[in-house]
Structure 1
Amino acid sequence: MTDTACRNIGCPTPAEPGTSWCIAHHIQHWERVDADLRERFAARMVENITTNASGCWLYGGKRNPVTGYAAPLHTGRRTSGHRWMTWYLKGELKPGYQLHHVCGGVDEQDTRHCVRPAHLVQVLPGDHRELTRLRAEMIEAAEPGARFYQTSVGETGRTVAFARAHELPRHEVDYLDVELSTESELVAQWRLVIPARLETV
């Protein structure tokens, strides 16, 4: 698939899949929106969210037909739901990096529409492609109902407060302590992929 140029005149960065702007110009747009409108948009997002046994925040509204990611309408434009929530709750998206989903769950192996920041890590595009390939192989080889989790990503105070305010699950259920368990234990019990270059924020 050919990359579409960012709609912002003179910008050499390709647009996000299914949108007209690169992520940097999406962020510029988000930052110009009044804080009260951001909060109202977040509340609207939550109205469409369901959860699963892995604690995913699964967006039930419009999804990008190409990528499967959440694609809510934000001030008249389709935006990237998982990127927006990460920016809104964690306050950072690194230039040149992409967000990779590290989640999955019982009977819900495709979680590209999860918008929970703790289930996303920022990785370089090459690493993202490799992680996506590994995940696809893992899903194909797994039995029904398998759970997937690739790393432990902490949640900020703002994300925890948001989850409490909207009665969303704060912690995953029955997860092993990723920091204390050995990789072999994790792979055996949770079918994990823990690549050496995986970068968390």
Structure 2
Amino acid sequence: MGEKEDAKSNYAGVFEGRIGFGERPALIIIDMVEAYFDPGSPLHAGVEDTLAAAIELRAAARAAGVPVIYTNVVFHPSMRDGGRFAQKVGALANFVRGNAMGAWAKGLEPAEDELVVSKQYASAFFGTSLASTLTAGGHDSVLLAGVSTSGCIRASCVDACQHGFIPLVVEEAVGDRHEGVHRANLFDMNAKYGDVVRLAEAKEHFAQIARN
């Protein structure tokens, strides 16, 4: 690779495929809890625009009758169920059951009839019932929103692909604590595992489902 060759040029012709939207989507809102929005939290990411976009996306999904599923991270007070992940990232103690940092971000509280999948690791699929729930519901695709782009979004995107679901990452509705890390992970997910789509595209997809 030449010193002046950019990533897009380097990937050209190899990692340019698009899957497109599926026919039976579900919206997965990943870990949008106070830990990422409270300035006093060590996990604070400054992604308030991401929250606003996720709320907008959720409204479009609900209007179209598209199921909305939420994930959060919940640990036993002992943190034993956090394993090596908790050993690596001490700030995960903010997600011990009952900690205020685990509360839903303001404006994004789930409705009573919407599912919440609690997890202990990055992926929404690892060690959870999510794949079985989506399969039983006849879903072929997932639109992903939430935090963080480089962590739980990326892990969930890869696992969605590996479980046979089309992953669609909604660009404005995912966020990370560092813009460079955010952009690099969007680039790589779009190249290798799923499609990164704009909020307007995702909303139009939901609107089309509603019309049909």
Q: Same fold (TM over 0.5)?
A: no
Q: Under a length normalisation based on structure 2, what TM-score does the superposition of the two structures give?
A: 0.27
Greater strand fraction, Structure 1 or Structure 2: 2
Structure with the larger RCO, 1 or 2 (CA within 8 Å, 6+ apart): 2
